[in-house]
Amino acid sequence: MKDLAKRLTQNPLLRPADLKPSLAGLEITCLLNPGVFTFEGRTWLLVRVAERPAQQETHISFPVLNSTGIQIMEIEVNHPELIAIDPRVINYKGLDYLTTLSHLRLLRSDDGIHFYEPEGYPLLQGENNQESFGIEDCRVALIDGLYYLTYTSVSENGVAVGMRTTKDWKNFQSEGIIIPPHNKDCAIFEEKVNGKFYALHRPSSVDLGGNFIWIAESPDGLHWGKHQCIIKTRKDKWDSKRVGAGAAPIKTSKGWLEIYHGANAEHRYCLGAFLMDLNNPSKVLARTDDPIMVPTEDYELSGFFGKVVFTNGHVVKGDELTIYYGAADEFVCAAQFSIEEILSSLIYADVT
């Protein structure tokens, strides 16, 4: 197994202490999985910022968005109807809640390494009851001068794909839920294929099927259909439990190259790649057998949720692919890859 990533020596690029909380009384617990785009000649991150109140030994407290703003819920740690075995999710009186509330924050860089918050740009937060548990893990696609933001919309009704669009990153149009629960990891191709929009996404099934990658097409980027399952988990491999798309696929001479995440039953998240046909993206041509990136550094192994590398954003410059990724569900990092090296690691058989 060869890790193809050349991690930046400046990693982690961002830690929770580097940003200020959105509200008094909250603290930033994690920085996760940024969407990435270029705008006005600079590299931008749309970082997921997860917040909660400072925790006490006797209680678990967490924020929830409602019609009047952010409400803080507080539960005794010894409450008989509380199940709190996962740092990310709790169950209270039969209902699931997230332990943090996430929003998306814009950061800008002149060199792709050092990021700061520019003035005059808004925080992107939940806006309705379909986003009451926050918005997460945004992917960004630029098509015909319009930026499409697809993100995970979380509420008591489930996990769905929401969309907003913008041209200037100051004014946004909300398009609501474009794929209903349970779905996430939606990455739109940054070029139409045969006049159609294409997107990868990840529905989930508890009882039948699995956490597989699907592809869909659309006439307008808003209404999606003709869904097909194209990538499945693989028994006894590094991606045996779940797979999901990263950022927008990269157009190469050999096909559409997608960097994806996979996890095993022990919740170790790695990155792999697969290749789709240029004229028919629903046809998968090849897939890596081994991961191209494995959590190995301390900042990837230890954090809010360790043994995780997870990406949904990158920048392409010729053969150089700079992937920005969440490490251990706490830090934002970056690593560089050779696209040709990734293509050379693909296996053109047994691609599902």
Nearest to 263 by CA among 246, 242, 244: 242
Instruction: Identify the helix (H) or strand (E) that includes residue 104.
Output: strand 101-109
Cα torsion at 248, 252, 254, 258 (round to 10°)?
Answer: -20
Query: For each of the chain's 352 residues, which pLDDT tens digit applies?
Result: 679 999 999 999 999 999 999 988 899 999 999 999 999 999 999 999 999 998 888 989 888 888 778 888 899 989 998 998 888 888 989 888 888 999 999 999 999 999 999 999 999 999 988 999 999 999 999 999 999 999 999 998 999 999 999 999 999 999 999 999 999 999 999 999 999 999 999 998 666 788 999 999 999 999 999 999 999 999 999 999 999 999 999 999 999 999 999 999 999 999 999 999 999 999 999 999 999 999 999 999 998 889 999 999 999 999 999 999 999 999 999 999 999 999 999 999 766 6
Q: What is the CA radius of gyration of the chain?
A: 19
What's the gap between Cα 20 and its chain centre? 22
| CB count in 10 Å sphere of residue 119 | 5
**Sign (positive or negative) of CA dihedral 222, 161, 167, 68:** positive
Nearest to 202 by CA among 239, 174, 238: 239
Cα torsion at 283, 244, 213, 282 (round to 10°)?
Answer: -20
Collapse the DSSP code of 175 into the 3-class scheme (helix H, G, I; strand E, B; otherwise coil) and give the result: strand
User: Which residues lie closer than 8 Å to 165 by C-beta, 6 or more apart?
Assistant: 146, 147, 148, 149, 172, 173, 175
Helix/strand/coil (H/E/C) assignment for every residue in 123-139:
CECCCCHHHCCEEEEEE
Asked if residues 80 and 348 have their Cβ atoms less than 8 Å apart, the reply is no
Asked if residues 299 and 327 have their Cβ atoms less than 8 Å apart, the reply is yes
User: Which residues lie closer than 8 Å to 208 by C-beta, 6 or more apart?
Assistant: none
